[in-house]
Amino acid sequence: MKKLQLSLVLLIILIPVKAQEFYGMTEKSIRAVMASDFKGLTPDNMVRNDVYRYLKYHSADDNETWLIFLDGRNRCKGVRITCSNSIYDAKIRELNQKYGYDKDGEWSYRTERDRIVVTVKRDEWFFTVTHERM
């Protein structure tokens, strides 16, 4: 029974780890991951931008909007998530669990080749979580 409980706890902790770690993934792979792992987010194909290439997803309650930026080879080069302040504390806990707190509103993790820095900027009505390669 303890093994089952431990397995369930580890599964719950590890599943969200790949949430924003899309760096280097192709558009097709990102769409597949979003469809299978983030069923609460819906793709938004209504917005077109001639300067930036990105995938946009939003939650049904509009508490979260994800922009996954793509480079010229259709590979992820950045992620920005805008959220309602109502889920701020939960997101901060999630970032602390996933990446460990570095310093003043900053976390980091490593991909195969890059160090990714995660920053949070809070405004009056929403906050933004940005994943950028350093």
DSSP class of residue 15 equals G
Residue 32 has which token pair? 């597949």
| Cβ atoms of residues 98 and 85 within 8 Å | no
Q: What is the pLDDT of residue 67?
A: 95
What pLDDT shows up at residue 43? Answer: 94
- At residue 10, the 3 state secondary structure works out as helix
Which pTM value belongs to this model? 0.79
Residue ranges in the chain modelled with pLDDT below 50: 2-19
**What count of other Cβ atoms lies within 10 Å of the Cβ of residue 45?**
8
- The pLDDT value given to residue 10: 35
Residue 114's pLDDT is 85
> What's the pLDDT score for residue 20?
57
The predicted structure's pLDDT at residue 27: 94
pLDDT score for 21: 78
User: For 75, phi and psi rounded to 5 degrees?
Assistant: -115, 145
